[in-house]
C-alpha cells in the first residue's frame, strides 16, 4: 500500500464509508439496469485489459484534461492552458467480472497507479514517449487483480456497458471490513475476543488517520508561517512609508 499522505487519506475515507454503511454495493448486473445518476461500489476481478488502445495521455498541468498539439504548441482544449512539460496520466480500459456479469471500466490515473505501483511518467520514461500502447508486463500487473471498485453510473449511459471508476481499493483491511458488513455469517466477529486481523485493521486505520492529520497540520502551519511573513513585510513597509514621506518633504 502506498504510504503517501494522499493515498492514506483516501484509504481512511474508503474504510470509513464502508464500515459505516454509507457505501452502497451493487452487482454488475444491477448496475446496468436503468437508474438515475449515482455512485455505487462493486466487488470484482479484472479479467482482461485492452492493450490495443493508448493507456495514458498527455495531460494539462492545471485541469488534467487531455492536451492537444496546436500549431506546434501543446494546449489544453478544456481550460486553454499551454504546457511546456510532458505530464502523463493513466487512462486504462479493463473488463471487470463479478458473479453476475462483466463490464468494461475505465481506470483513470489514481486507480491505475494503485494497481501498477508506478506513475505513468515513469512508465513512459522507461519505454519511451511514443510507447502509448500498454507493454505486456504492465498489463500483467492488472490481470487477475481483485478489488472494490467505486463506479459512476450516469443516466446518459443507460445503454452503454462501460463505467468510469472514481475510486478503487485493493487493500486487505478494506476488504475485511467489507466482508464483515456484507457477509457477517462468513466473517466471525466476537466483541469480547476480537480476531487479530480486526485489531490490526483498527490499528492501521488509526495510524493512517494520525499520519493524515499530522500532514494537514504541517500544511496549515506552513501556510500560517507564510501569512505571518507577508504581514511582517507589510508592517515593515508601512513603518517605512511615513519616514520616506518625511524625508521627501524635507527635501
Q: Is the pTM of this model over 0.75?
A: no
Grid cell 492536451 is found at 67
Residue 126 CA to residue 137 CA, distance in Å, equals 12
| Residue range 139-191, pLDDT digits in tens | 999 999 999 999 988 777 655 668 999 999 987 767 777 776 666 554 444 44
Share of the chain above pLDDT 70, in %: 67
Residues in a beta bridge with 102:
97
| Residue range 32-58, pLDDT digits in tens | 876 778 899 999 999 999 999 999 998
Residue 173's CB is within 10 A of a number of other CB atoms, namely 21
Q: What is the mean pLDDT of residues 186-210?
A: 49
Radius of gyration of the chain from Cα atoms?
A: 25
Burial of 105 (0-12, 13-18, 19+ CB in 10 A): buried
3-class DSSP assignment, residue 243: helix
Task: Tell me what pLDDT residue 189 has.
Answer: 42
What is the 8-class DSSP label of residue 99?
Answer: S
Amino acid at each position: 500500500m502506498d504510504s503517501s499522505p494522499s493515498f492514506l487519506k483516501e484509504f481512511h475515507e474508503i474504510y470509513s464509508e464502508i464500515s459505516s454503511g454509507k457505501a452502497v454495493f451493487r452487482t454488475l448486473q444491477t448496475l446496468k439496469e436503468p437508474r438515475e445518476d449515482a455512485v455505487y461500489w462493486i466487488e470484482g476481478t479484472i479479467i482482461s485489459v485492452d492493450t490495443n488502445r493508448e493507456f495514458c495521455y498527455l495531460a494539462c498541468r492545471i485541469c488534467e484534461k487531455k492536451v492537444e498539439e496546436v500549431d506546434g504548441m501543446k494546449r489544453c482544449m478544456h481550460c486553454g492552458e499551454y504546457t511546456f512539460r510532458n505530464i502523463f496520466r493513466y487512462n486504462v480500459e479493463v473488463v471487470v467480472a463479478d458473479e453476475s456479469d462483466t463490464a468494461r471500466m475505465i481506470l483513470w490515473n489514481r486507480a491505475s497507479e494503485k494497481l501498477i505501483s508506478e506513475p505513468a511518467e515513469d512508465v513512459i520514461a522507461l519505454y519511451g514517449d511514443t510507447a502509448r500502447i500498454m507493454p505486456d508486463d504492465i498489463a500483467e500487473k492488472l490481470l487477475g487483480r481483485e478489488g472494490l471498485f467505486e463506479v459512476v453510473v450516469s443516466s446518459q449511459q443507460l445503454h452503454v456497458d462501460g463505467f468510469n471508476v472514481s475510486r478503487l481499493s485493493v487493500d486487505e483491511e478494506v476488504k475485511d471490513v467489507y466482508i464483515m458488513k456484507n457477509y457477517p455469517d462468513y466473517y466471525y466477529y466476537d466483541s469480547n475476543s476480537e480476531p487479530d486481523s480486526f485489531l490490526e485493521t483498527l490499528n492501521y486505520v488509526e495510524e493512517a488517520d494520525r499520519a493524515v492529520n499530522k500532514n494537514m497540520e504541517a500544511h496549515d502551519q506552513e501556510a500560517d508561517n507564510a501569512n505571518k511573513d507577508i504581514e511582517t513585510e507589510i508592517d515593515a513597509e508601512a513603518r517605512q512609508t511615513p519616514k520616506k514621506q518625511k524625508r521627501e518633504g524635507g527635501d
